[in-house]
Amino acid sequence: MKILNYTLISLLTAALIACKKEGKTSESGKDSLTAKKDSIVIPEIHKEYYGIYTGEFAGMEKVMDEMDGSEYEVENYKRISLKINRITKDSVYGQSIVNGNQRPFRGIFNEATKSFVLDEPGNDKTDGRFEVKMNGDSLTGRWNAFNSKAVKAPVKTLKLIRKEFVYNPNFMLDQDSDLVDWSNPKEFVEKYTDEQTGETESYKTSKNRVASEAIFKLNASKQKLTEKDLKNLRKLDLEIIKNSVFARHGYSFKKETYRNFFEQTDWYIPVSGNVDHDLSPMEKENVALLNRFIKYAEDKYDSFGR
């Protein structure tokens, strides 16, 4: 009886071992097929078109007149960069960078017409479709918002030139740059005294921040700044010196103030919405020092015509 039990146990054990081996073989075969499938490399084509294309991104937006409530159109101009990272027979992959917003896109390339149709994901109100054509080192075409009611200028034209982004610590604002911050006017109450009657009247006037020549002298990417260097500077001076560091690394600014300053140069190419990890140790120290001074600095305002 014991011998019979031992025999049955042995047979059951052998069967279980066989099942496990069969299962492992099956799973192994499945894993092998999956690995083989995943290892298939889709060939890339037209690598000569890879790179950064940057330039004008413009459209018309409606603005309401505060006086009579009427609407009129003004041009909405920005600088945009399109990065084409990969092209295959069926797909194109890349990113759009504008206003500090970095969005992936995917689309197709038409070899016959040398044109791209590129769609951003669609889960952001600013997403849309690029329809652009290649001509030498240029991309021209238009962009249409997926949600035309969510953006100020739902249709924009693009005129982009291919440029190679290079970090250069020597980059500075041009000496003939406009040093006025046109984006943040501030209202002041001033008084006027009539010389004949002696009567004094108060009136409101709009003034803009203005930077000084100090922004052409201090470079936070090349020199270790000290408190002595910064103590008498205007707030706008400090902001420009600080953000010049980020501009040199290709940061795409959300604030119109900084975009307007750096888009005056030929070297500024927005390539990323975050460049913190690219800063050198000295640049990080200088930015920290500048932030301390910016917190308590004051601005100089003046009246300008446009």
Which of 163, 190, 221 is at the close of a domain? 163
Cα torsion at 268, 271, 274, 278 (round to 10°)?
-70
Average pLDDT over residues 260-272: 92
- Mean pLDDT computed over every residue of the chain: 87
188 and 295 assigned to the same domain: yes
60 in the same domain as 157: yes
51's CB contacts (< 8 A; 6+ apart) are 83, 84, 162, 163, 164
Tell me, yes or no, whether 126 and 191 share the same domain.
Answer: no
Asked which of 125-129, 190-194, 260-264, 287-291 is least confident by mean pLDDT, the reply is 190-194
Q: How confident is the model at residue 24 (pLDDT cuts 50, 70, 90)?
A: very low
203 domain-assigned: yes
In which band, very low, low, confident or very high, does the pLDDT at 10 lie, cut at 50, 70 and 90? low
CATH number at residue 69: 2.40.128.120
Taking each helix axis as running N to C, give the angle between helix 235-248 and helix 281-296, from 0 to 180 degrees, rounded to the nearest 10: 160
The pair of three-digit structure tokens given for residue 251, joined into one six-digit string:
């940061």
Q: Render pLDDT for 56-107 as a digit per residue (tens, 0 to 9).
A: 999 988 777 766 777 778 888 889 999 999 999 999 999 999 988 999 999 9
184 and 293 co-located in one domain: yes
Residues 191 and 297 in one domain: yes
274 lies in a domain? yes
Q: Say if residue 127 is in the same domain as residue 201.
A: no
Let me know: does 108 contact 94? Beta carbons within 8 Å: no
For residue 41, tell me if it sits in a domain.
Answer: no
Domain residues for 149?
Answer: 47-163
- Among 134, 163, 192, give the residue marking a domain's end: 163
Mean pLDDT of 265-270: 93
Q: Shortest CA distance to 272 belongs to which of 253, 252, 258, 256?
A: 252
Return the percentage of the chain with pLDDT > 90, whole number: 67
Please indicate, yes or no, whether residues 193 and 297 belong to a single structural domain of this protein.
Answer: yes
Provide the pLDDT for residue 76.
82
Q: How far apart are CA 97 and CA 104, in angstroms?
A: 9
Q: Are residues 117 and 184 in the same domain?
A: no
Quickly state the pLDDT bin for 27 (edges 50, 70, 90): very low
Q: What is the mean pLDDT of residues 102-123?
A: 96
For residue 243, pLDDT beyond 90: yes
pLDDT in tens, 124-177: 999 999 999 999 999 999 999 999 988 889 999 999 999 999 999 999 999 999
Note whether 257 and 224 are same-domain residues: yes
Same domain, 61 and 156: yes
208 and 157, same structural domain? no
Residues 200 and 143 in one domain: no
List, in order, residues 6 or more apart from 230 with CB less than 8 Å away. Answer: 238, 289, 290, 293
pLDDT of residue 26 exceeding 50, the answer is no
Model pLDDT, residue 29: 52
The number of domains in the chain is 2
- Does residue 53 belong to any structural domain of this protein? yes
What is residue 12's predicted lDDT score, i.e. its pLDDT? 47
Does 181 have pLDDT greater than 50?
yes
In a domain, 74, yes or no: yes
CA distance 263 to 163: 14
**Residue 271 domain-assigned (yes or no):** yes
Comparing 7-16, 84-93, 217-226, 257-266, which segment has the lowest mean pLDDT?
Answer: 7-16
Domain boundary among 130, 163, 196: 163
Domain assignment present for 10: no
Assigned domain for 282 exists: yes
Q: Would you say residue 9 has pLDDT above 60?
A: no
User: Pick the residue with more confidence: 19 or 124?
Assistant: 124
